[in-house]
Every structure is written in structure tokens, then in C-alpha cells.
Amino acid sequence: MIQLVLFVATCFTTTLAGVEWTSGGVQPGGESSWLNGLPYSLSIMFVLSCHEFGHYFAARYHGVSATLPYYIPIPSLPGFLNFGTMGAVIRTRSPIADNKVMFDIGVYGPIAGFIASLAILIYGYTHLPPIDYLLAIHPDYFSPTYGQGFLSLEFGDTLLFAFLRTALTDSNQFIPPMSEVYHYPYLCVGWFGLFITAMNMIPVGQLDGGHIIYSMFGPVVHRRIARLSMCLLICLGILGVGQIFGFSVTVSGSAFRVGWLGWAFWALILWVVIKVQHPPVEEFKPLGGRRMCLGYASLIILLLSFPPSPFIATVQ
């Protein structure tokens, strides 16, 4: 029953978030306004459901008792970045006997979520609306004074997001910059899905990535990779502090902002709540070629989806 309540609540909060993203922050004022929020809401619920049911069905296949997903709604709060949800989780209620079962439960969630995000992004980039769509939200978009004196939010690029933008669009289209992507529901959801996948694929503790690395290589290698991952997150967090003061990295004459203070907070949450080490399983077995290939594919997903600087906020 609680899962159903949370599902309905998350449908509501994501629809509200969709209205805000697609209208520039205007609160819903009628039936048509609510309908504008549905593409975002339905898309993000689809991505989250694919991820969590990937875990759920893998658990059930191996006879592991698991709950249905607990969706996490987030109400709209003035002044805060609002996606309408903080994701979803399932809980396993029976022991996991060996690392093969652990691997399957861990890997099929992010793979399913990644495929769903990829599908949403492909649809979004192949169905970009004309510039009139953005001008309806920001009539002064092409004005020289557009955004001056206001806080600008920009989503950070990822390898996959940048590749799809280049491969699926042409120079005759208006392609929204990363500072306007959140007004485009399918691009916004696809980006968010990759971001959530990357966060879960970090090979630490009992994150999905932690389950996968532990199951593939055992506790000693997992411990080393987890500690290295924590160090990298902390470094990105420190670079995020520099980003606040305008620090950037220059590559081939172009400046790139690297780092996000939130990565340091995520490292703290991992350290305190999720833990860095992975708990042992009763029996450790060789995974076999098919599972090892799937594991390496999941690490490629992490590389393609990870944004070193997911959110860039500046005052223009």
C-alpha cells in the first residue's frame, strides 16, 4: 500500500516539476498547464521504473524476496532545483547467497535504466521543437541583455549526451544549449536518467557499481577501487569549490568547468550511510564470460554517463 501511495505522490510531484520546467517556473493554472507537465512526468517515471524493476525481476528470478519500488517524491520548494523526485529504491528481504546472484541484481537495474534514458534522449533529439517553443518561455532569449543579473543554471555535459547531440541533429536546427536543456522534457529526463545511473554506478559499498565490482573481482580489488573512487569524488568536490570562484580547466584553448561541490556531499553520504566496504556474501564463485562482459559493459555505461560537473550555476 505504501508503494502505491508513494507512486501516486511522485506522479503528482513530477508532473508539477514538468509544468515548472516547461513554463519557466509558472505554477499550473489550468488543465492545459497540467498536461504540459505530463511528457516530463511520464518519461521520468518510465526511467525510474525501468531501473528499479530491473533489480526487482532479477531478484525474483533468483528466488530473492524483494519489495516493489519505493518512489521518492519531492515537493516543489522555491529557490531549489526540483526534479520532482529523488529516485526510487527496492529492498531485498532475504539473504543473497552468492556473488552471481548479487551481480545479476546489481547490474540489471542500471542497464535497464540506461537503455530507457537512451531511448528518451534519442526521441528528444529527433523531435526537437522549433525555436518558437523556447521563445514562448523566454521571449527575450535573443536579447543582448537576456539573463543579465540573474542566476543561470547549466547542466554539465556527458560523453553520451554530447555524442547524441552531434549525431542526431544538424546545423539547420535550433539546438538548445545546456543552460536551456531543462525546458525540454525529454532531454531533461534523459540527462537526469544518465546522472542517476552514474551516481548508482560509482563502485563504492552497496551502490549498484559496488555490487558489480565486488561480484566481478572480490573484496580486495573492490576495496582498492572503492577507496580510489572516494578520493576522486572528494577531488571533484574540491574542484567544485574552485568552480564557485570561476576556476576552469583549459584544453586546446577552450575553458571547461570541472567539479561540483555536491560530489563531496555524495562522498560524505557514502561514507556515513552506505559505507565504503561491501559486506561479504556466503559463497564467492567465478562469474563466467557472459557476466564478466556484462560487467565491463556496465563500467562503460558509467564512463559515458558520468558528468564531472553536473550543475553549473553562475550569475551573468
The answer on pLDDT for 126 being more than 70 is yes
Separation between Cα atoms, residue 242 and residue 255, nearest integer Å: 14
Whether the model clears a pTM of 0.85, i.e. scores above it, the answer is yes
Nearest to 73 by CA among 155, 24, 3: 3
Q: Which residues of 33-52 are buried (b: 16+ CB within 10 A; e: fewer)?
A: ebebbbbbbbbbbbbbbbbb
The pLDDT value given to residue 2: 92
Per-residue pLDDT reduced to its tens digit, 274-292: 889 998 888 899 998 999 9
Mean pLDDT value across residues 207-229: 95
The pLDDT value given to residue 142: 82
Mean pLDDT value across residues 32-55: 91
The pLDDT value given to residue 256: 55
Which domain covers residue 246, as residue numbers?
2-315
Separation between Cα atoms, residue 139 and residue 106, nearest integer Å: 46
Mean pLDDT value across residues 140-153: 75
The pLDDT value given to residue 254: 43
SS3 145: coil
Separation between Cα atoms, residue 51 and residue 114, nearest integer Å: 8
The answer on pLDDT for 95 being more than 50 is yes
Per-residue pLDDT reduced to its tens digit, 223-260: 999 999 999 999 999 988 766 665 555 444 444 567 88
pLDDT band of residue 163 (cuts 50, 70, 90) is: very high
Mean pLDDT value across residues 208-232: 95
The pLDDT value given to residue 57: 96
Nearest to 198 by CA among 279, 122, 113: 113
Percentage of residues of the chain with pLDDT beyond 90? 65
pLDDT band of residue 194 (cuts 50, 70, 90) is: very high
The pLDDT value given to residue 291: 95
Residue pair 183/24 in contact by the 8 Å Cβ criterion: yes
Residue pair 236/308 in contact by the 8 Å Cβ criterion: yes
**81 or 224, which is more confident:** 224
Separation between Cα atoms, residue 316 and residue 304, nearest integer Å: 30
Residue pair 269/206 in contact by the 8 Å Cβ criterion: no
The pLDDT value given to residue 248: 54
Per-residue pLDDT reduced to its tens digit, 1-23: 899 999 999 999 999 999 888 87
The pLDDT value given to residue 252: 41
Residue pair 168/124 in contact by the 8 Å Cβ criterion: no
Nearest to 164 by CA among 134, 191, 197: 191
The answer on pLDDT for 80 being more than 90 is no
The pLDDT value given to residue 255: 45
Question: What is the count of structural domains for the chain?
Answer: 1
**Grid coordinates belonging to 247:** 576556476
Output the average pLDDT for the chain: 88
pLDDT band of residue 71 (cuts 50, 70, 90) is: very high
Percentage of residues of the chain with pLDDT beyond 70? 88
Q: Which residues does residue 92 pair with via DSSP β-bridges, in sequence order?
A: 66
Q: How many residues does the chain have?
A: 316
